[in-house]
Amino acid sequence: MTENGKVWLVTGARSGFGRVIAEAAVAAGDTVVGTARRTEAQADPAAAHPDPLT
C-alpha cells in the first residue's frame, strides 16, 4: 500500500460487482480485503495480486 493508498473491504469479491470493484481497487494501487462464501474461488485474484489482496 502506498502512503496515500486506500484500504477496501469488499464483500462478494469472488464475482460480479464485488470482483470488478476489487480488481479496480488493486489496479489503482490500493489494498483490498475481500470476502466470499466459497474461499477456494478467491485463489485467482489472490494469486494474481498477493500483496494488495488479503
Q: What pLDDT sits at residue 38?
A: 73
Q: What pLDDT sits at residue 17?
A: 93
The answer to whether residue 52 scores a pLDDT higher than 80 is: no
pLDDT digits (tens, 9 = 90+) for 9-51: 999 888 889 999 999 999 999 999 988 887 665 556 666 666 6
pTM: 0.65
Beta bridge partners of 33: 9
Q: What pLDDT sits at residue 1?
A: 47
